[in-house]
Every structure is written in C-alpha cells, then in structure tokens.
Structure 1
Amino acid sequence: MPENDITPAIQFQGVGKRFGDNVVLDGLDFSVAKGDRVTLIGPSGSGKTTILRLLMTLEEANDGLIYVDGDCYTHEMRDGKRVAIPEKRRSLVRRRVGMVFQQFNLFPNMTVLENIIEAPIHVLGKPKAEAIASAEALLDKVGLADKRDARTMQLSGGQQQRVAIARALAMEPEILLLDEVTSALDPELVADVLGVLRNIAETTDITMLIVTHEMQFAREVSNRVLMFDGGKIIEEADPDTIFTSPKHERTQEFLRAIL
C-alpha cells in the first residue's frame, strides 16, 4: 500500500439499520484501513454480522453512507439527499468484496474446480484456461489440490469451507469478509480452516473484516479488535489490549463469559 494512500478500504458514516422497531446499527461510524485485519466481537444480536451483510449488499442500510476504497457503495449524497446509486455502478464496487459464510453455500452438482471457476468466468470474464490455472493454485494454497475433481458432497465440512475460501479468493477481492466461518464445523476440523486463514493473512495484503468467536484466532490474526454491543462500538484496541486489559465493563463481562 503506498504510504500516501490513506483512503480507507471500508468506511461507514452514520450507518443505521433497523428491522421493524429493532435498531441493529445506530449511527455507526467506523473505518478499516487497507491491508488491516479487523475482528468484530460481541454478543449475538449486537450488529456484527449485519455489517458484513451490508457490505455484501444482502441487506440495505436505512441511514448513512458506506464507502469501499473511497467509492460510494449503495447510496450517495446528491443535492443534500441520500439517493441510491445505479445498479451497474454498485455492481462494479461490489466486486471488490468477497465473503466466506458460516454455511459453505457450494454448488452440490459441481466439482470442486467447477465451483471455483464459475464466477471468475461468468462474472469477471476470465478465459477458462486462466480461471482453471488460478483455481488450481488456490486449491494448492488451501491444501486441497488432490480434491480438484471431487464432488463437494464427498468432502468433509472443513474441506468444504476451505473450498469456499478458495472460491471467494478466486474473485480477486480487495476485501475478504469472514462470518463465523468455523461455527458450522466439528471441533477437530476448525484448526485446518483457521490455519488456511492465518496463511492468507500472513502472505497477502488483502483487507479482512472478521466476525468470530474464536478468540485465539482473533488475537493472532487481527491488528485491531472492535467490541460491539447494542449496535455500537463500545471499545476498540489492538488484540493484546482487548484480551488482556479491556477497559469497558461490558467487554470484560463478554470475554469472561466466552474465554
């Protein structure tokens, strides 16, 4: 990242999200610098996953603006009013963001390789040979080179999640969102998936925004941790500070309950 490039990878300005009378995000302001690994922690219902869903345009904010690399994401201010940006422009910005979900969401009728090359060919317009070469390199990176032609249903949950990570990376996103990626796995499979993600964090400059209850993973991979409660950030610090000497009483209570 150039030293003079201070445009955040992600920026939320006064973002609000409501489901009926339930306020999930309340005037949220926060940003993630390019190349940062930021983990969101907090109790269920505190708004963490909603942030990721807004960035994937699976939900739409009721208020405020979201920027990706300085570009308006879904809305902009025009003549003093918040208006939706055109779908074509929204789609172009959206391509910069990839996500790995709790559930693997792989296509069961396709092979592992076919799952990975589908979007690069049909969305990015990559030549098939180039998409295959990239997919094979990614499968090697996630330790599944020998599963190239397997059907996804033949794989363990941990293997399926590693395919899902490779599939997300195949779209060459600038930002990778991770939503409780180990929560659907048996405990013995968690380590392999977290190992893959640690390797990605160590060997690439991709920006990561992570929601997880794996606190040791958050401590090892993140350079910043945000504690959420009631749709707001109540504390933020580097991992060592958050996990060894949190200042906010609610953060202390939360960490005592899960550690």
Structure 2
Amino acid sequence: MEFRDVVKRFGDNVVLDGLNFSVAQGDRVTLIGPSGSGKTTILRLLMTLEESNGGLILIDGVPYTHEYRGEKWVEIPEKRRRVVRNRVGMVFQQFNLFPNMTVLENIIEAPVHVLKKSKAEAITRAEELLEQVGMSEKRDFKTNQLSGGQQQRVAIARALAMDPEILLLDEVTSALDPEIVADVLGVLREIAETTDITMLLVTHEMQFAREVSNRVLMFDHGQIVEEADPETMFTNPTHERTKEFLKAVLAH
C-alpha cells in the first residue's frame, strides 16, 4: 500500500499534511507517536471509514479511493473500492462485535454474505481460527458473555476469516485489563510469525512493536518524523521528537 501526498482535514484541523509512505507486501509496520498525530486516521482511510481531502492511496499500485483524471481529482466508484476493501481486514480498539450473535455467527457473517462462501466452508474456517486464537470452547456463546480479552481474540479471528492480505490493528490492547494484554499480543505474534499477511499496527505497546515489526514509523502532527528498524528506533533514535516520545512512553 502507498500513501502519496495524502491530506486529511477535520474542519480547520489538518490531521495528515501531504503524507507519503509505503508498506511492501509482507511488511509488519508499526506507527508510533502521540495521540492525535494521525495514526488511527491512516487506518480509517484504508478501511474507507474516512475520506481523504487530497492525494492518492494505492493498493498494489492501483488507486483505491480517488484518482486523477487529467487534472481532476475524482472519487473511485464504490464497486471498485469494495473489491480492494475486501482484501483489507481491521481489528478495532473496541472490538465492534455483533452482541446479538454468537461467537461463531460473528465470524461467519462476512465470509458468507460478502465473500459468498458456503456456510459449511465458513464454519470450517471459523473453527480453525477459533482454535488458533484459543476460543474454540466459546463458539456458541453470545459475545456479551465474554471478557474483553476474549472478545478481542474473537475480533481477530473475525478479521482473519475474510482472508485479508492486509491486516490493520488499531490499539487492539488499549481497552483490555493489563493481565490479559499478553494473551492477545501472543495471538498476534503467532499470526505475524506464521503468515505472510501485511500488517499495519498502531500501538503503545512498545515491546510488542519491537518484537513484531520490521519497520517503525514515528508520527507527529500528521507527518513521519523518523523511520527505522525496531532495534534502531528503540535504542538509538535520531530525531529529538522521537527521543522525547519514547522517553515518556517507556517511563510508564
């Protein structure tokens, strides 16, 4: 995926200001930086939950939400967007599960209705994923009967059930009790180690970012101020803003 001169404004507030960066297939890229620096907005643009105000977002070199026709910047039709969006999965901070459905129903809903898989095929895949995230015994529970950590593991399985090529992770542990954070991070670590899914993560879990990522981008005021491999970023950052941020975060 590639961002080319992407601009995003909320009223007079410029959140992304001519942003340029790219993520190669199979990369695990973590976005770090203070709250309000534009990190989550990037994920929301990729899920088309927000619209950009300028620039191009490309997936496999093809414009995703807007394109230039001559000098004109125009929206891409929804049908074309949907084809690409089905290749992108997202795990949200607040789980976003359907409370009126069981765990299994949550996972098979989109594969059946969006990917047009047979129910039997979707159930087989769901059971594999529930095994992977350690939630097999909860398959027939309603999601509101689960703890936060259990709900987040179901949310991860639901995202993976769409067989995404790109997985977006937005502060997936910030709503969890500290003692269950490790369980969820363990699931994500295994996915990173055993699949070739491209990952774009927003997290304040610096140790996790260090272990899972192959690149870390430091954001501030809608711009990348530093980019490095995890070892360099966390042990020898060069930009003063990165040093300040990491000092504050790692002190907790």
TM-score, shorter chain, exceeding 0.5: yes
Partner-residue secondary structure (3-state), 1:173: coil
Residue 44, structure 1, aligned to residue 35, structure 2: yes
Residue 180, structure 1, aligned to residue 171, structure 2: yes
The answer for the alignment partner of 1:225 in structure 2 is: 216
What is the CA distance between 1:68 and its match in structure 2? 1.2
The answer for the alignment partner of 1:4 in structure 2 is: none
What is the CA distance between 1:33 and its match in structure 2? 0.3
Corresponding letter in the other structure for 1:25: L
The answer for the alignment partner of 1:164 in structure 2 is: 155
The answer for the alignment partner of 1:54 in structure 2 is: 45
The answer for the alignment partner of 2:184 in structure 1 is: 193
TM-score with structure 2 length normalisation? 0.98
1:197-212 aligned within 5 A: 197-212=188-203
Equivalent position to 1:250, from 216, 241, 248: 241
Corresponding letter in the other structure for 2:115: L
Partner-residue secondary structure (3-state), 2:107: helix
What is the CA distance between 1:135 and its match in structure 2? 0.2
Equivalent position to 2:69, from 64, 67, 78: 78
Segments of 5+ residues of structure 2 without an aligned counterpart are: none
Q: Is the 8 A contact 1:56 1:94 kept in 2?
A: yes
Partner-residue secondary structure (3-state), 2:17: strand
What is the CA distance between 1:38 and its match in structure 2? 0.1
Q: Figure out how many residues of one structure are paired with residues of the other and give that number.
A: 250
1:64-143 aligned within 5 A: 64-143=55-134
Corresponding letter in the other structure for 2:205: E
C-alpha separation between the residues in 2 aligned to 1:70 and 1:148? 39
C-alpha separation between the residues in 2 aligned to 1:138 and 1:19? 38
1:21-40 aligned within 5 A: 21-40=12-31
Segments of 5+ residues of structure 1 without an aligned counterpart are: 1-9
Give per-residue Cα distances to partners, 1:180-217, cap 9 Å, x unaligned.
Answer: 00000000110000000000000000000000000000
Partner-residue secondary structure (3-state), 1:58: coil
C-alpha separation between the residues in 2 aligned to 1:68 and 1:112? 31
Corresponding letter in the other structure for 2:97: L
What is the CA distance between 1:99 and its match in structure 2? 0.3
Identity of aligned residues (%): 80
Residue 235, structure 1, aligned to residue 213, structure 2: no
Corresponding letter in the other structure for 1:87: E
Which aligned runs of 4 or more in structure 1 are off by greater than 6 angstroms?
none
What is the CA distance between 1:80 and its match in structure 2? 2.0
C-alpha separation between the residues in 2 aligned to 1:86 and 1:154? 40
